[in-house]
Structures are given as C-alpha cells and as structure tokens.
C-alpha cells in the first residue's frame, strides 16, 4: 500500500543555518579580520564583514559584494555615489565591487574627479583648522590606532583634505555623518586598500 511520506520539518531551517555558517566561516578565512598596529590588540573590534553589519543593524544593501555595473570609466576607477551611499570599484566585464559608505552631512557634501594619491595603514589624524574651530575639544594630532577616527586604512583623494577611510563607528555606514570624508567599515576599507592602485581615478557624484 502506498503511504505518504511525512514532511521533513526543519530541513529548510537547518540548511539555512548551515549556509550562514559557511558564509561566516568563508568571510573570516578570507582575511577580513584586519591586523592591529604593533603592540595593539583589536579583540573588542574583531568581526567579519557579515556579522559586523548584522550586529550594527546596517542594511543588507551595504554589505560588500560584486554587482553588475555599467560605466564608461576604466577598470580600477573608484566611483563614489553619495546619494546611494555606495562606493564602486570598477572591475572587468561590466562588474564592480560595491561597498556601503557613510558620507558628508548636510552642508559638507561635494563632488568632483580626482586621483588616488596615497594609501596609509593605520593613519594618524590631523583635524583641519576649520574642524577644530567647530570642535575645539579635538586634538591637534592623533596617532594612528584602533581608536583613531580614520580607522584601519586611509586612501587620499588628490590634494584635497578628503579621504576614503575606515571608521570606529560602523553603525554610521549608510548615513550622512562626516565632514566630507567617505567612510567605510575597517574590513571594507582594508579590502579596498588592497585592491586600489595609486593613481587610480576617483569620481565623486
């Protein structure tokens, strides 16, 4: 006699859990944990790209990923779309690596075309004079490290005071918060740092 098989409860849930574990494991093993400066630890900051976004309630659209992207700009160009809160690194064959970003708050946004002129690991920070006038409590200079607002990496834009840099506030990704610089999570800016080349074109729109 033919008997109906019983539904396998929980199979989809189990599969989803295993898939998520695989993603997290791959993210960690792929080198998304950024190393600290000599003599410093980052245990309280360590997180892979996926869990960091979940922990800080950052929408999924800001998780780093390869996406289809049509542009006339050459491979290696960095395109910052401030209204979308996305940065695109142009890849081959109609694709780009897309990163979530935090941008300048009202009155501090800008646009233009420049070149990537320098890259630094754990950069020091010298707040501009105008910023120190607005915030006199800021130091004249802050040594690079885990508490530095520029984060783990900085990419310098032309001869401007602006940078693409990491952040100690990953929850600010997707928001208008800075004084004009473009911020990424420390994991994402480290990934961009490793991919981008000095002299690359930077387009901010």
Taking the domains of the chain in order of start, what are their residue ranges? 15-204
Write down the catalytic residue from 53, 86, 114, 181. 181
Q: What are phi and psi of 124, to 5 degrees?
A: -75, 165
Give the pLDDT of residue 52: 64
Token readout for 113 is 């075309």
Q: pLDDT digit of tens for each residue in the chain (205 aa)?
A: 434 444 444 444 444 444 444 433 333 333 344 455 555 444 444 345 666 666 667 788 899 999 999 999 999 999 999 999 999 999 999 999 999 999 988 777 889 999 999 999 999 978 777 777 788 877 777 898 888 999 999 999 998 889 999 999 999 999 998 888 999 999 999 999 999 999 999 999 9
Give the pLDDT of residue 50: 64
CA angle 148, 187, 67 (to 5 degrees): 135
Write down the catalytic residue from 45, 53, 114, 165. 165
Give the pLDDT of residue 79: 98
Give the pLDDT of residue 31: 37
Give the pLDDT of residue 1: 43
Query: Would you call 45 a catalytic residue per the annotation?
Result: no
End-to-end CA distance of the chain: 69
Alpha carbons 79 and 5: distance in angstroms, whole number: 54
Give the pLDDT of residue 24: 37
Query: Would you call 165 a catalytic residue per the annotation?
Result: yes
Q: Is 3.40.50.720 the CATH classification of the domain at 15-204?
A: no
């Amino acid at each position: 006699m033919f008997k109906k098989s019983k539904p396998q409860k929980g199979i989809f849930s189990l599969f989803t859990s295993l898939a998520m574990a695989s993603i997290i494991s791959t993210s960690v093993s792929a080198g998304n944990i950024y190393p600290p400066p000599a003599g410093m630890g980052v245990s309280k900051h360590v997180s892979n790209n996926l869990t960091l976004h979940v922990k800080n309630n950052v929408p999924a659209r800001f998780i780093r990923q390869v996406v289809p992207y049509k542009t006339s700009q050459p491979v290696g160009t960095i395109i910052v779309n401030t209204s979308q809160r996305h940065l695109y690194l142009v890849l081959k064959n109609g694709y780009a690596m897309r990163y979530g970003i935090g941008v300048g708050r009202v009155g501090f946004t800008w646009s233009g075309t420049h070149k990537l002129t320098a890259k630094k690991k754990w950069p020091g920070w010298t707040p501009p004079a105008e910023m120190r006038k607005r915030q006199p409590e800021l130091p004249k200079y802050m040594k690079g490290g885990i508490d530095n607002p520029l984060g783990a990496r900085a990419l310098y834009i032309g001869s401007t005071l602006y940078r693409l840099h990491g952040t100690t506030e990953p929850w600010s990704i997707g928001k208008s918060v800075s004084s004009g610089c473009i911020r990424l999570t420390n994991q994402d800016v480290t990934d961009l740092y490793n991919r981008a080349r000095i002299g690359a074109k930077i387009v901010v729109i």
